[in-house]
Amino acid sequence: MASYSTNEFRSGMKLMIDGDPCAIVENEVVKPGKGQAFNRIKIRNLKTGRVVERTYKSGESVEAADVMDTELQYLYNDGEQWHFMHPETFEQMAADKTAVGDAHLWLKEQDVCTVTLWNGNPLAVTPPNFVVLKVTDTDPGLKGDTSGGGGKPATLETGAVVQVPLFVAIGEDLKIDTRNGKYVSRAKD
C-alpha cells in the first residue's frame, strides 16, 4: 500500500486515518528550538465531513487513501440510488444516499458532476458550482417588481427550496450557486 511521509504532507493530500479516507486541510510543523519535531494536521473525514486534528512524529509514514475525483454525467435516480455515467467510456456507476448527501438537491439530469471515488466506489458527489433549475412552485410574482429587494421561497424541480426575488414566477429557469444554495439570476436563454 502506498504511503506518505510527514515531509510530503500538504493540503488536499488523501490519507487513511482510523480506517476512513481523509483529506489534509492544513499541515503545520511543530518544532521546538531544541526537541523532537511533529506535524500537526487538520483533516477532513471524506465520509462524514468532520474535521479533526492529528499529530504525527515528523518522519513517520501514513497510509495513502486511494481516492480520486472523476467527472461523471448524472443520469437518473431510481428511488434508492443515483446513477452516473462516464461521458467517454459510457461506464455506469451508482451512488447511494450517504455518498450523494445534500448534493441531491442540485442534481439535474445530463449535468456533469464531480464524483469522488474511494477504492473505485463513489464516496461523495459534488454538483457543478452553478446549475440551472426550473421553478415548480412559488407565490405569484409582483408585476413590475425588478428591484430584487425583499424575497420569497421558491421550490425547484429537484425539490430544493431557495430564496428568490419577488418577480420570479413558476416555470422560470434560475441559475443557482450550489456552494451556498443561493439564487444568482434568471437563466439567460
Q: Which residues bind other proteins (CB under 8 A)?
A: 7, 28-38, 40, 55-58
Nearer to other proteins, 35 or 144 (CB): 35
Least CB distance to other proteins at residue 67 (A): 23
On whether the CB atoms of residues 111 and 131 are closer than 8 A, the answer is yes
On whether the CB atoms of residues 68 and 116 are closer than 8 A, the answer is yes
Nearer to other proteins, 42 or 86 (CB): 42
Alpha-carbon gap, residue 30 to 56, rounded angstroms: 10
Nearer to other proteins, 59 or 151 (CB): 59
- With CA atoms as reference, report the closest residue to 169 among 183, 181, 182, 186: 186
Alpha-carbon gap, residue 63 to 65, rounded angstroms: 7
Alpha-carbon gap, residue 143 to 47, rounded angstroms: 46
Task: Kindly report the backbone phi and psi dihedral angles of residue 101, in degrees, each rounded to the nearest multiple of 5, phi listed first.
Answer: 55, -140
Least CB distance to other proteins at residue 118 (A): 24
- As given in the structure block, the three cell numbers for residue 92 are 455506469
Nearer to other proteins, 10 or 179 (CB): 10
Least CB distance to other proteins at residue 60 (A): 9
Least CB distance to other proteins at residue 30 (A): 5
